[in-house]
Structure 1
Amino acid sequence: MTEVSAAGAFDPASATIAVVTYNRSHLLLRLLESITRMDPKPGRVVIVDNASTDDTATVVESYRDRLGAELIYQRLDTNTGGSGGFSEGMRLAYEAGSTWMWLMDDDVEVLPDGLAKMGTWSSRFKSIQGRRFDFDGSEFYWQYRLSIPLGIPIPFAPAGFDASGYREMNSGCFEGMFIHRDVVGEIGLPDPRFFIYWDDSIYGWLASRKTTSVIVDEFVLRRTREIAQWDMGVRHLNASSNMYRYYIMRNRGYMKHYFRTHGAYRPVRFAVGTMLTFAKELIRLAFVERTFRGTSHLLRGTRDARTLARDTSWRPMPPLDQVA
């Protein structure tokens, strides 16, 4: 592993912000407005629209001459989920020659000095995650460590930072992932087959196998959408949806393939992780959404995961050609 990036000072123009959006133009507008206030600004902004039916295209075009950065807008013919959107956004950014790709959803704002803060770490690391403020201004805790044998986040990984200002991670989150093109070239694009959920965890894990990946003690984003949650003190549990419940279980079939391909699959412990994931979703239903309606989606996802895991034709995403 290496933690040394390309030599020389960070050039903001080498960075691309890649955003995925779907029928949330009111949130996208806030993100685009925050980009106009950035100092410095990125060289380009890529917007991948997952076949929105609202006024997203109009909102995007209204900012074309205001961003202070090149704007690439790609409207897809169908909704490919966050996974497909980020795969396409990274492809567009990579093919445009971007050195750094900063991925984010449409329900965040960028803090004005966010890119400058990320840039200060770019000479040391090639896979970086900044911190976020939650909707209410509190510090958002993200589970940055995965238990690979179990295939689940470690919920009590330390939240604090020492004097180094960073902690090593082996996961990823597409709400703020800042990644160098060299790593993307080695591990390929995010896998669109996930549709939603576990895609960024697996992608971050793949990146951590190639380079030292870190979360840094720098607040760079603010979430702009309020989500119902159960406050457990030091941690919280967000509300979900039936679609998420299905994919969080189904996509463990894809996780199993990735772990198996890279020699990290441990059948018994992974099965325990699957049971823990199922149990966590039942707790989410009971204590956050106060219902057990939705359990059928967990069961259906579990069944489909077994089918996916038995697919002998499955192959991981291929590496991309290295571009100087």
Structure 2
Amino acid sequence: MSALAESAASVSAPAFVPATATIAIVTYNRSGLLTRLLESIERMDPKPGHVVIIDNASVDDTTEVVEGFRERLAPIELVYRRLETNTGGSGGFSEGMRVAYELGSEWIWLMDDDVEVIPDGLAKMGKWAPRFQSIQGRRYDYDGSEFYWQYRVSEPLGIPIPFAPAGFDESGYKPMNSGCFEGMFINRDVVRQIGLPDPRFFIYWDDQMYGWLASRKTQSVIVNEFVLRRTREIKQWDMGIRHMNASSNAYRYYIMRNRAHIKRYYRSLGVYNPVLFGLGTALTFGKELIRLAFVERTVRGTSNLFRGLRDGRKIAKDASWQPMPPLESAAG
């Protein structure tokens, strides 16, 4: 976006109204973490108009916890949906986005249950709302340090750029072409154009893909505003200027399988380069081997990488595959 276009947008765009925003949370069997998040929302000033909680078929006391917050969160309207099966983070965020959109929300703020909101977080995000429609704030890690998120994607490779500059200039923002459902703040007009997050991913790559799709419709930015704090400790390998988190067998499987979904989106939009995308897949495989060796100190788990590649080939050949449709028919 040019400086002139950005200036015009900031003049013409309406002022942000907190009550038009919805926080959409996905949770699964972590009622303790969810409690901390809801307590932080209770302390927010200003507050959103709605909080949508998508429960991926939890079997703990999540339902009771949510019901206990209905009066505490007033005047926020709390909407609770318990799904019949675990649809993964991808399915949960797709449903959360759908519910928030149908509520008429102008802004939808997505987050997992393992974060808490900084009290003035919505005000910090809202001040950028007249200028941009796809915004990512910053967050503190579990230990209070500044969390670095890979906000740039190498489009030909289909992978994040691990060492994109972390610093901000006086503008307070940087262009991004990715997304993270742990804090994505997005306008309903962009959602209308690109549709809902794709639940077929189940976990992994779903938010990167959604953020990339958004960046094709609008100027997406990461802003120098700390708005979230992680509340769950994750095993990490300290690489000096960056960290590498521990993973799981399920993640390893979907990391490789879902490369096929990315490939299908790329093909549908005419940006697929088989050689470079194949290199991105090879680099992803290698990164996961490094994660096994240096973070988890094991070689067990490689079979899940191969299984993901195998099942991804089926997706790549599926003649019925279609991208998620836009919501053009829905009320804008």
Query: Is TM-score (shorter-chain normalized) higher than 0.5?
Result: yes
Match of 2:108 in 1: 101
**Alignment TM-score, normalising by the size of structure 1:** 0.98
Do structure 1's residue 268 and structure 2's residue 260 form an aligned pair?
no
1:16 paired to 2:16: no
Corresponding residue number in structure 2 for 1:37: 43
Compute the displacement of 1:107 (Å): 0.1
Which residue of structure 2 aligns with residue 146 of structure 1? 153
Secondary structure of the residue aligned to 2:170 is coil
SS at match of 1:222: strand
Unaligned runs of 5+ in 2: none
DSSP 3-state at the match of 1:140: coil
Contact 2:13–2:131 under 8 Å retained in 1: no
SS of residue paired to 2:89: helix
Task: Report if aligned partners of 2:18, 2:122 keep a CA contact under 8 Å in 1.
Answer: yes
Q: Which residue of 1 aligns with 2:65?
A: 59
**1:119-268 correspondence to structure 2 within 5 Å:** 119-268=126-275
Aligned residue identity for 2:60:
D
Instruction: Return the letter of the residue paired with 2:15.
Output: A
Return the alpha-carbon distance in structure 2 between the equivalents of residues 110 and 274 of structure 1: 35
**Most deviating of 305-314 and 206-215:** 305-314
Q: C-alpha root-mean-square deviation of aligned residues, in Å?
A: 1.0
Aligned residues: 324
CA contact (8 A) 1:169 1:208 kept: yes
Distance in 1 of aligned mates of 2:275 and 2:79: 46
Query: Matches of residues 69-108 of structure 1 in structure 2 within 5 Å?
Result: 69-108=76-115
Structure-2-length-normalised TM-score? 0.96
In the alignment, the residues of structure 2 paired with residue 301 and residue 218 of structure 1 have an alpha-carbon distance, to the nearest angstrom, of 36
For 1:312, give the aligned amino acid. A
Distance 2:14 2:197 in 1: 28
User: How big is the shift at 1:264?
Assistant: 1.1
Moved over 3 A (4+): 1-6
Distance 2:330 2:253 in 1: 36
1:323 corresponds to which of 306, 316, 331: 331
CA deviations 1:121-159 (Å, max 9, x no partner) are 000000000000000000000000000111110011000
The residue type paired with residue 229 of structure 1 is Q
CA distance in 2, matches of 1:323, 1:134: 38
Taking the aligned partners of 1:101 and 1:280, their CA distance within structure 2 comes to 32
Which secondary structure does the structure 1 equivalent of 2:23 belong to?
A: strand
Whichever residue aligns with residue 133 of structure 2, its letter is K
Does the CA contact (< 8 Å) of 1:83 and 1:199 recur in 2? yes
CA contact (8 A) 1:24 1:56 kept: yes
Shift of 1:60: 0.4
Give the share of equivalent positions with the same residue, in percent.
Answer: 76
Question: Aligned AA for 2:185?
Answer: F
Q: Structure 1: which 5+ residue stretches go unaligned? A: none
- Contact 1:182-1:322 within 8 A present in 2 as well: no
Give the Cα separation in 2 of the matches to 1:87 and 1:322: 16
Query: How many angstroms apart in 1 are the aligned matches of 2:162 and 2:176?
Result: 13
In 2, Cα distance between the equivalents of 1:178 and 1:26? 24
Match of residue 121 from structure 2: 114
Q: CA deviation at 1:312?
A: 1.4
User: Aligned partners of 1:176 and 1:307: how far apart in 2?
Assistant: 32
Q: Deviation of residue 322 (structure 1)?
A: 4.7
The one-letter code matched in structure 1 to 2:320 is S
Deviation at 1:7, TM superposition (A): 2.5
Paired with 1:306 and 1:162, the residues of 2 have a C-alpha distance of: 43
1 CA distance for matches of 2:56 and 2:171?
Answer: 39
